[in-house]
């Protein structure tokens, strides 16, 4: 039986399930310090929910599992994520804890001027545990997508992720995005916890710079040496591209040139594109190219979430030869050019 009394059979199997905290995000109405910004626009933010929102928009069946407060912000999260076509029936409401929120400045997150103010301590999602999450709903997917954010929220969340990544028969394919967040505490044991959980996954996403910061690993080969167990390891290398270690094979695909509007949400979009192509059984090279294209969709809009390119359009671009792929440049509005794929192929 599940936590809400339903039988396991009552849960529909979907393509992808993601578990993790989402928060209401307040985006500044103008550039400047948080102290100087007079007004903010409301949006949503959450690594795992971002992934399933993009996958649902791309035509896959997807479910988000989490806890939110019994408040208006919780209502907004559930309604907005559900509006993408994501199944939110397993999201629990917590009457005693609030929904997390955060405020950020308009600047690039990579700069020193960027500010983020989190109000997530004691949030409903931080109280997730094996005891209060519908495990049957979480496991009823072809893929279960997790990130390194969740286990850093609380001991209960860490225990939950350990349970979900434990080796057992008939578990879904476990996708794990390291998503290191230094501000989340567990500073002493955080690197070891992330290493342990990633090694228990089937598919791991990690940034090359992230691996250097967390574990002191320099270069994609060093990352693979530290993660020999996952069948598939994706090392993201920024604007250069990404390298995939799949079983005994190594594949590098350069990223297309992108006229960046905002460098937010690209990592989650890349994971969604790669997972979409994985679910379709495409070759590793094509999975990487789909990841790059979906990331480019996010990079060319102001917010965290962007509609992915239409599948036929993306497939045409993925099928380009190496020379044409190398000449590809994508700017704002490129995903709207569904019938003009050749027009996006131009030199910088």
In 3D space, the residue among 243, 199, 241 whose CA is nearest the CA of residue 221 turns out to be 243
Classify 77 as helix, strand or coil: helix
Distance CA 58, CA 285 (A): 19
In sequence order, what are the beta bridge partners of 195? none
Measure Cα distances from 284 to 35, 103, 173 in Å. Answer: 46, 37, 16
Q: Which residue has the tokens 């350990």?
A: 162
Q: Which residue has the tokens 């969604």?
A: 272
Of the listed 87, 134, 177, 268, which one is catalytic? 268
- The verdict on whether 87 is a catalytic residue reads no
In 3D space, the residue among 224, 229, 175, 237 whose CA is nearest the CA of residue 204 turns out to be 175
Distance CA 318, CA 298 (A): 17
Distance CA 144, CA 142 (A): 7
Distance CA 305, CA 297 (A): 9
In 3D space, the residue among 264, 321, 275 whose CA is nearest the CA of residue 298 turns out to be 264
HSE of 116 in the Cβ direction (CA atoms, 13 Å)? 18
Q: Which residue has the tokens 């309604």?
A: 79
Tell which phi-psi region holds residue 137, choosing left (phi > 0), alpha (psi between -120 and 50) or beta.
alpha
Active site residues: 268
């Amino acid at each position: 039986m599940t936590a809400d009394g339903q039988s396991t059979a009552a849960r529909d199997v979907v393509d992808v399930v993601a578990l993790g905290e989402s928060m209401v995000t307040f985006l500044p109405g103008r550039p400047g310090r948080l102290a100087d910004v007079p007004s903010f626009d409301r949006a949503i933010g959450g690594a795992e929910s971002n992934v399933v929102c993009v996958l649902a928009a791309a035509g896959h069946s997807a479910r988000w599992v989490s806890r939110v407060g019994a408040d208006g912000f919780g209502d907004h999260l559930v309604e907005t994520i559900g509006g993408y076509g994501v199944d939110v029936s397993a999201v629990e409401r917590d009457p005693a804890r609030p929904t997390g929120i955060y405020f950020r400045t308009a600047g690039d997150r990579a700069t020193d001027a960027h500010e983020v103010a989190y109000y997530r301590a004691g949030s409903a999602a931080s109280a997730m545990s094996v005891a209060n999450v519908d495990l049957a709903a979480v496991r009823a997917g072809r893929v279960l997508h997790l990130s390194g954010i969740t286990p850093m929220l609380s001991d209960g969340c860490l225990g939950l992720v350990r349970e979900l990544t434990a080796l057992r028969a008939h578990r879904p394919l476990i996708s794990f995005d390291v998503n290191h967040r230094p501000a989340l505490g567990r500073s002493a044991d955080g690197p070891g916890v992330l290493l342990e959980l990633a090694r228990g996954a089937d598919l791991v996403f990690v940034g090359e710079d992230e691996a250097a910061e967390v574990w002191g690993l320099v270069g994609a080969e060093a990352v693979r040496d530290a993660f020999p167990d996952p069948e598939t390891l994706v090392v993201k290398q920024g604007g250069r591209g990404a390298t995939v270690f799949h079983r005994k094979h190594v594949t590098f695909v350069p990223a297309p040139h992108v006229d960046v509007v905002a460098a937010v949400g690209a990592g989650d979009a890349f994971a969604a594109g790669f997972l979409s192509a994985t679910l379709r059984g495409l070759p590793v090279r094509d999975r990487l190219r789909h990841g790059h294209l979906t990331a480019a969709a996010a990079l060319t809009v102001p917010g965290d979430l962007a509609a992915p390119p239409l599948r036929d359009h993306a497939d045409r671009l993925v099928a380009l030869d190496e020379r044409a792929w190398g000449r590809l440049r994508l700017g704002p509005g490129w995903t709207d050019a569904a019938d003009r794929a050749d027009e996006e192929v131009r030199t910088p």
